[in-house]
Amino acid sequence: METSASIQEQIQELLEKGDTTTLQQWLNDMNISEVASLISEMPEEATQLFALLSPNRSVHVFRILDFPLQRNIIRSMPPTLIAELMNALPPDDRVAFLEEMPAQAVSELLKLLNEDERKITLSLMGYPEDSVGRIMTPDYIAVYPDWTVQDVLDYIRQHGKNSETIDVIYVIDEMGHLLEDIRIREFLLVSSDTVVRDLMDNRPPIVLHVEDKQEEAIQVVRVNNRVALPVVDAHHTLLGIVTIDDVLWIADESFEEDIQKIGGTEAFDIPYLDAPIPLLVRKRAGWLIALFLSEMLTASAMQHYQETGIFMRFADLILFIPLIMSSGGNSGSQASTLIIRAMAVGEVKLRDWWRVMRREILSGLSLGFILGTIGFFRVTLWQNMHIYNYGPHWIWMAITIFFSLIGVVLWGSLMGSMLPIILKRLGFDPAASSAPFVATLVDVTGIVIYCTVAGMILNYASIY
């Protein structure tokens, strides 16, 4: 099997020779995904390769390319070919592309669309940016309940070619209201004179509303295992459908954005290697500044407890500050990541907050006990093996480490699990409670917990 590098070398050789006939045949023999992958791996030759594709294949390849490549290809094409491509694209893919283009370019591209496609595109672009209306397509098969199965099959043969999918057939009334959706197999397994009404089970169909958030479509498709879902308005009029490929694309975009936020950066709309350095700095600087300012509270807390004399009387407590802070931050980051993921896939709802809290209390206490025990034995072993001398009161220091770790890990688990739920309840993105943010917040409170526990134990032992 030829490697990707060897294929690219052969393609470059054919381009240098000007042997476009052989290259065109080669591209036509490839799968659509293979062509798209090849064009993505050869961005400098992308426009030349795309120009060799047949009109039908070029549409399918264009749909799955990244936006920077799409933009470069469009810029290299003559207006007649741009018009042909734009009119052939499915409306939802066309809108997704136009959303990324500058306003002036969108205006020029809209002029290239025929009247019907322009109306459809403007209609879809009139919905909120993150709504289901932006990703729906009006290309579907709708039939009436008084039709026979033969009527339906004849209609599919005549109009099915332009439909996004024919796996599901939608039944509407004279006013366009959705009555039911029926899988195509139901029409193929009955006699041709069967009336559509007889195939209906009168159960309300699972629908998406045109103003719904796109992320809601992900949950509905996942739970109901559908390849397509109808989109209706407030009057239950069928406006379009959302297919599984659009939902998967939205899911990929959503999860990628959440992962970047969890890492403590703003979401990137372009590939990392295509992003200019000033953009990288701008996307990351905001979070870093916010986290840095938050960490200043840690210094303030330490200054306060230094004034009380804890660190002066028992200076070795300072040695364990990184251990305490990192343990709390790590437990908080773990809990935050688990809850954000569970909320993203619909496993945890806002109403589950108490169940989450109970589980994290038990988990935090258990994890804190484990780490606290390790910390206790760490001090004990170092003292008794004469690796380090913690002084005559080393046992109280070991006890301080033990209880501090229990408190800090418990607090970190609670903060990490509750912050995403609180943010969701307030209408914010749960992913904004990123791991660095949780870790920073727990660092500040961890110092307070550590010094408070130390003060209580040292007072009890009459050391402080």
CB 167 within 8 A of CB 228: yes
Provide the 10 A C-beta neighbour count for residue 116: 10
Q: Helix (H, G, I), strand (E, B), or coil: what is residue 231?
A: strand
What is the arithmetic mean of pLDDT over 211-239? 84
Helices 55-63 + 32-41 axis angle, to 10: 70
Kindly report, residue by residue over 238-288, the tens digit of the pLDDT: 888 888 888 877 777 666 666 665 555 555 556 656 667 777 677 666 666
- CA 458, distance to chain mean position in Å, is 48
**What are 231's strand-pairing partners?**
208, 240
With b meaning 16 or more CB within 10 Å and e meaning fewer, what string describes 45-55?
A: ebbebbebbee
Assigned superfamily of 272-460: SLC41 divalent cation transporters, integral membrane domain (1.10.357.20)
What is the arithmetic mean of pLDDT over 115-142? 82
CB 244 within 8 A of CB 167: no
pLDDT value at position 303?
67
What is the arithmetic mean of pLDDT over 62-81? 86
pLDDT value at position 338?
84
pLDDT value at position 150?
93
**Which amino acid appears at position 183 of this protein?**
R
| CATH 3.10.580.10 correct for 142-242 | yes
Q: Is 423 exposed, middle or buried (0-12, 13-18, 19+ CB in 10 A)?
A: middle
Most confident of 23-37, 142-156, 211-225, 421-435: 142-156
Choose among 41, 43, 35: nearest CA to 63.
35
Helices 353-384 + 321-344 axis angle, to 10: 150
- Helix extents (H) in 191-276: 196-199, 214-224, 244-262
pLDDT value at position 1?
40
Average pLDDT in the chain: 81
Assigned superfamily of 4-129: MgtE N-terminal domain-like (1.25.60.10)
Confidence of residue 147 (pLDDT cuts 50, 70, 90): very high
Distances (CA, A) of 390 to 166, 314, 316, 457: 76, 9, 7, 16
What is the arithmetic mean of pLDDT over 149-162? 88
| From 143-152, 257-266, 300-309, 442-451, the region with the lowest mean pLDDT | 257-266
Provide the 10 A C-beta neighbour count for residue 23: 19
Choose among 213, 229, 251, 68: nearest CA to 129.
213
What percent of the chain stands above pLDDT 70? 84
Q: Which DSSP string do the residues of 407-455 spell out, in sequence order?
A: HHHHHHHHHHHHHHHHHHHTTS-GGGS-HHHHHHHHHHHHHHHHHHHHH
pLDDT value at position 462?
65
Is the pLDDT assigned to residue 426 strictly greater than 60?
Answer: yes
Structural domain boundaries of the chain?
Answer: 4-129, 142-242, 272-460
Length of the chain equals: 464
Kindly report, residue by residue over 354-410, the tens digit of the pLDDT: 999 999 999 999 999 999 999 999 989 988 888 888 777 788 888 988 999 999 999
Residue corresponding to tokens 């007072």: 459
Give the count of alpha carbons within 13 A of 167, CB side only.
11
State how beta strands 208-209 and 228-232 pair.
parallel
Q: Return the structure tokens found at 408.
A: 């800090």
